[in-house]
Amino acid sequence: MARVVVRDILITTLLLGLFAATGTGLVAWVHLATSDRITENRLAMTRMRVTQVLEGLEYDNDPVVDATTVSHPQLGGTGLPVWFARRNDTVVGMVLSAIAPNGYAGPIHLLIGVDTQGQVLGVRVTQHRETPGLGDDIEADRSDWIHGFRSRALGDPPIEAWRVRKDGGVFDQFTGATVTPRAVVQAVRNALVYVQEHGDALQATPPPDADQAVVIEPLPPAEAEHVAPGGPPPVPGTPEGIIEVEP
Amino acid sequence: MSAHRSEIVRAGLWTNNPGLVQLLGLCPLLAISGTVVNSLGLGIATIATLVLSNSLVSLLREHVRPEIRIPVYVLIIASVVTVIELVMNAWFHGLFLVLGIFIPLIVTNCAIIGRAEAFASRNTVPDAALDGLAMGVGFTAVLVAIGALREVVGQGSLFDNAHLLVGEWGRHLRIEIFPQEHGFLLAMLPPGAFLAMGLLIALKNVIDARLEGKPVAASVEPEPASEPGERAPSRS
C-alpha cells in the first residue's frame, strides 16, 4: 500500500518536473531566438529618443554606445545613464536622464539634452503616469509645452524664475494641472544645477574603447524583468523620501 | 459546421462571452481599453494565448494527473504568455512598450485558466482550439468596443497610434472626429472603462430580452454548473 503511494507521488512529481522543464526549455529557446532582435529594438528606441533631445547639435559619434551612469539626488535617482555627443572625440553635448520624484501620479522620467555651456537642447518625457488629458500634455506628442525648455539655461531665466507661473516663474502650467509641470520644471532645473556643478568632471569621461550601449529601461525599475546583455544593471528605485533640491 | 461546433462559437462570442457574461479578465479589459489600437493589440495577444493554451491543455489532458492539473495549466499558460511577450517585444516593439506590464499580466486573466479547466481538459484538440478562438475573439470584441467608445468620447479619434500595430502606413488610419481639447476626460480615466463596460452589458441584456420575446431557432443550452464564471469568487 505504502509502496503504491510512494510510487504515485514519484510519478506525479516527475511528471510535474517534466512539464516545468519543457516549459522552461521552450521559453529559453524563444528567448535565445529573439534576444538579438530585442536588444536591437531597445538600442533603436534609445537612439531615437537620445537623438531627439540633441536636436540642432552637430556630433559625429553614436551617443547610444558612448555612455556612463551617474547617481545623484539632483537627478533624482541612482544608476542613471548619461550619453555623450562628441565631435572629434570632444564632448559637445550630453543627454542626462533625470527622475522627477513628485509627479501627480508617481515619478516622471525625463531625458534632458544640454550643450557644454549648460544650455538646454531638448527635453522629453520617457515615462510617466500622469492623468490622461490633463498632465500628459508634458508629452511632446500631445502639446508643445516641453519645447519651452529649448535654449533655456540656468541664467535664462534666472534660477528663481525656473518655476511655473503660478509659483512666480516663467513656465506655463496647464489648465487643471499644476503639479505635473511643476515637477518637470523642478527636475530640469535640478539637472541643470547638477551640470553646472559636475558637468566638467562628467565631460572629462574619455570615449569608450569598446561600445558601451546603455539603453532606456522600458519599465519602471521595480518591474523591469529583462536587462539587455551588456546593458546596465536594473536601476534601483528613487531614493526614499522626496528630495527637494533647492538651488 | 456541426451543431456542437457552432454552439462553441456562439458561446464564446455571445451566450458565454468572457467579457460580458463570465466577467473574467476584467483587469486587462478595463485597464488597457483606452484606445482601439491598445484593445486590439491586447486582444490579439489574448486570442493567441487562449488558442495555444487550450490546444496544449487538450493535447496533454490524458497525461496530466488530476492532482497536478492546475499547476500544469499554470505552467502551460505562463510559458505561452512569455513566448508571446518575447515575440511581441521582438516584432511589435512599439506596441509592446505601450501595453507594457499588461502582456505578462495575461497570465492572470482568469478567462484563460477558466477555459483550460472548464473546456479544454475535457474536449478534443480541435474543439478546444475552436473554443479558445471563439472565447478570444469574443473577449477582443468587447475590448475593442470599449476601446472605441472610450477613444471617441475621450479624445475624439479612432485608430490613434495604429502604426504601432500595422507599421508606418497605419499613421493614415487615424480618424479625427472632433478636436482632442473637447474630449470627455472621464472616458479616458479608469471610471470611464467601468461605465463603458456597464453600458455594454446593459446593451447585451436588452438584446437578449428582445430575442427572448421571439421564438429562438436554436435553443441555448444552460451553462454547466462547473462553469468558472459562476463560482469563482475572485476575479481578475
pLDDT in tens, B86-110: 998 898 888 788 787 788 888 888 8
For residue B50, being part of any structural domain is answered with yes
CB-CB under 8 Å, A12 with B189: no
Question: Using CB atoms within 10 A of its CB, is residue A182 exposed (0-12), middle (13-18) or buried (19+)?
Answer: buried
Q: Which of B68, B79, B97 sits opposite A16 (nearest CB)?
A: B68
Report whether A196 contacts A155 (CB < 8 A): no
Distance of CA A69 to the CA centre of its chain: 11
Contacts of residue A132 in chain B, CB cutoff 8 Å? Answer: 34, 154, 185, 188-189
Q: Which of A106, A98, A165 is nearest to A131 (CA)?
A: A106
Residues A185, A164: Cα–Cα separation, whole Å: 7
Four-residue CA torsion sign, B102, B108, B114, B117: positive
Amino acid at A159: I
Domain that holds residue B132: 3-211
CB contact under 8 A, B86 and A31: yes
What's the confidence (pLDDT) of residue A149?
92
Which residues of B, range 182-211, sit inside 8 Å of A by Cβ?
A: 183, 185, 188-189
In a domain, B167, yes or no: yes
Give the model's pLDDT for residue B182.
66
pLDDT of residue A217: 67
Residue B230 in domain:
no
Cα(B65)–Cα(B68) distance, integer angstroms:
6
Average confidence score pLDDT of chain B: 82
Which among B65, B100, B189 has CB closest to A15?
Answer: B65
The three cell numbers of residue A116 are: 557644454
Least confident of A80-84, B89-93, B135-139, B160-164: B160-164
- In a domain, residue B233? The reply is no
Nearest CA in chain B to A23: B79
In a domain, B235, yes or no: no
Contacts of A41 in chain B (CB under 8 A): 89-90, 93
Chain B environment of A218 (Cβ under 8 Å): 96-97, 100
What would the grid cell of residue A209 be?
Answer: 574603447
Q: How far is CA B232 from the centre of its chain?
A: 18
Low-confidence ranges of chain A (pLDDT < 70): 1, 211-212, 217-247
Q: Residue B221 domain-assigned?
A: no
Is the pTM here over 0.90, yes or no?
Answer: no
Which residues lie closer than 8 Å to B178 by C-beta, 6 or more apart? B156
Distance from CA of B82 to the nearest CA of A (A): 7
Could you report the per-residue pLDDT of B63-83, keeping only the tens digit for each? 888 888 889 999 999 999 999
Report the number of distinct structural domains present in chain B.
1
- The CA-based dihedral angle spanning residues B102, B104, B106, B112, taken in that order and rounded to the nearest 10 degrees: 180
Q: Which residues of B are less than 8 Å from A14 in CB distance?
A: none
- For an interface test with A, the pick among B76, B83, B102, B171 (most A C-beta atoms closer than 10 Å) comes out as B83
Using an 8 Å Cβ cutoff, are A195 and A96 in contact? yes
Contact A68, A82 (CB under 8 A): yes
Q: Closest approach of chain B CAs to the CA of A126, in angstroms?
A: 11
Residue A92 CA to residue A94 CA, distance in Å, equals 7
Residues of A with CB under 8 A from a CB of B: 11-12, 15-16, 19-20, 23-24, 26-27, 30-31, 34, 37-38, 41-42, 44-45, 131-134, 218-219, 223, 225
Torsion, CA B170, CA B173, CA B179, CA B181, rounded to 10: -40
If you measure CA to CA, which chain A residue comes closest to B57? A19
φ, ψ dihedrals at A82, nearest 5°: -125, 130
B168 touches A: beta carbon within 8 Å: no
Bridge partners, A66 (sequence order): A212
Helices B36-59 + B110-118 axis angle, to 10 = 30
Residue type, A145: W
Q: Is B76 on the interface with A (CB under 8 A)?
A: yes
For an interface test with A, give the residue of B37, B57, B72 to mutate (most A CBs within 10 A): B72
pLDDT confidence of residue B233: 43
Grid coordinates representing B44? 490579439
Cβ–Cβ gap A23/B65 under 8 Å? no
3-state secondary structure chain B: CCHHHHHHHHHHHHHCCCCCCCCCCHHHHHHCCCCHHHHHHHHHHHHHHHHHHHHHHHHCCCCCCHHHHHHHHHHHHHHHHHHHHHHHHHHCHHHHHHHHHHCHHHHHCHHHHHHHHHCHHHCCHHHHHHHHHHHHHHHHHHHHHHHHHHHHHHHCEECCCCHHHHCHHHHHHCEECCCHHHCCHHHHCHHHHHHHHHHHHHHHHHHHHHHHHCCCCCCCCCCCCCCHHHHCCCCC
Residue A15: its chain B contacts at CB < 8 A? 63-65, 68
Is the peptide bond preceding residue A158 cis, with omega within 30 degrees of 0? no
- Asked if A16's CB is within 8 angstroms of B71's CB, the reply is yes
Per-state percent for chain A, helix, strand, coil, to nearest 5: 40, 20, 40
Q: Is A56 helix (H, G, I), strand (E, B) or coil?
A: coil
Do the Cβ atoms of B101 and A45 come within 8 Å? no
Q: Where would I find the beta strands (DSSP E) of chain A? A: 67-72, 77-87, 90-100, 108-115, 120-127
Which residue in A19, A38, A44 is closest to B72 by CB distance? A19
DSSP letter string, A140-200: TTT-SGGGGGTT-BTTBS-GGG-SBGGGTSSB--BTTB-HHHHHHHHHHHHHHHHHHHHHH
CA-CA distance, B88 to A130, in Å (whole number)? 26
- Chain A residues within 8 A of B78 when measuring between CB atoms: 23
Cα distance from N-terminal residue to C-terminal residue, chain B: 34
Q: What is the pLDDT of residues A21-45, one digit of tens each?
A: 999 999 999 999 999 999 999 888 8
CB contact under 8 A, A23 and B78: yes
Lowest mean pLDDT among B7-11, B93-97, B200-204: B93-97
* Mean local confidence (pLDDT), B188-205: 88
B66: number of Cβ within 10 Å: 8
- Whether B134 is in a domain gets the answer yes
In a domain, B156, yes or no: yes
What pLDDT score was predicted for residue B235?
44
